[in-house]
Amino acid sequence: MLFGHELSDADRNELSDRLAFTVSATPALGADYQVLGRQLDRLVEEGGGASFLRASPAQRETVVDRLMRIAPPSLLERLWAHVVHSRKQYYRMRFETVPQLAWLYRHSGVAWRARGYTRWQGIPGDWREYTRPGAPYP
């Protein structure tokens, strides 16, 4: 389940490929994704769950909501984060890694298929398609 949509095998494969590409292009992202995974697991554990992977959709929503409500750091917090590595990671996950993953999703075929599209940016085809109405939102 992602952005309220049940993922198909094709969706999972495409997102895996894209994540693998980002790590091959920017190796440091691999470590960031692991840190984010651990951060999500910890938030689930704090709510009494086992892990993010095993959490129910409702538990996941609660965790994501908590993560996304982290406010931008104040000047004092930025200075603190500069010294304390875990705080730096905490903010980087929220304000760099999560937005990058949201961007990756938004530009993937997964997001467009969920809207009923059969083609999207980067997939060539008939240029006259835009002159005809498309398919409705599923």
Partner 1 sequence: MIAARTYDLCIVGAGLAGALLAAQATRKGHTVALLEAGSRFQFGDRSRQLLQHQTLAGPRWPWLNEGRDHYVDSSPSAIGVSYALNSNRVKGVGGSTLHWDGRINRLMPVDFASASTNGLGVDWPITYAQLEPWYSLADWELGVSGTYHPAMPVRSRDFPMEGFPMSADDTVWLPIADRLGIEVFPTPWAINSRPFAGYSQCVAFAACQICPSGARYSAERHIAIAERSGLCELATETVARRIDLGPSGEVNAVHATRLSGEGVEVRARVYVIAAHAVESARLLLLSRVGNHSDQVGRNLMEHVYVDRGGYLPDRRFYPGRVGYEVLESLSYYRSRQRGQRGGIKLEFTFDQDPLHDLESRRIWGSRLAQYDRERFGRWIGLEAETEMQPNPDSRVTLDGAQRDLFGDPVPHIRFAFSAADHRTQKEGGEILANLLHEVGAREVSQEPLGATSWGAHHMGTCRMARDPEQGVVDSDCRVHGTSNLYVAGSSVFPTSGALQPSLTIAALSLRLAAHLEQILT
Q: Are 72 and 133 in contact (CB under 8 A)?
A: no
What is the DSSP track for 84-123? -HHHHHHHHIIIIIHHHHHHHHHTSHHHHHHTT-S--TT-
Among 4, 28, 48, 76, binds partner 1 (CB under 8 A): 4
Binding mask 64-103 for partner 1 (x = CB under 8 A): xx--x------------------------------xx-xx
Does residue number 136 form part of the binding site for partner 1 (CB under 8 A)?
yes
Rounded to a whole number of angstroms, the minimum distance from the CB of residue 44 to partner 1 is: 14
| Sign of the torsion angle spanned by Cα atoms 118, 18, 102, 7 | positive
Does the protein bind partner 1 through residue 27 (CB under 8 A)?
no
CB 92 within 8 A of CB 116: no
Under 8 Å between Cβ of 71 and 56? no
Looking at the Cβ atoms of 19 and 81, the one nearer to partner 1 is: 19
Q: Does 28 bind partner 1 (CB under 8 A)?
A: no
Task: Kindly tell me which residue out of 54, 57, 79, 80 binds partner 1, with binding defined by CB under 8 A.
Answer: 57
Q: How far apart are CA 6 and CA 129, in angstroms?
A: 28
Task: State which of residues 71, 74, 85, 125 lies at the interface with partner 1 (CB under 8 A).
Answer: 125
For partner 1, the binding residue among 76, 106, 110, 113 (CB under 8 A) is 106
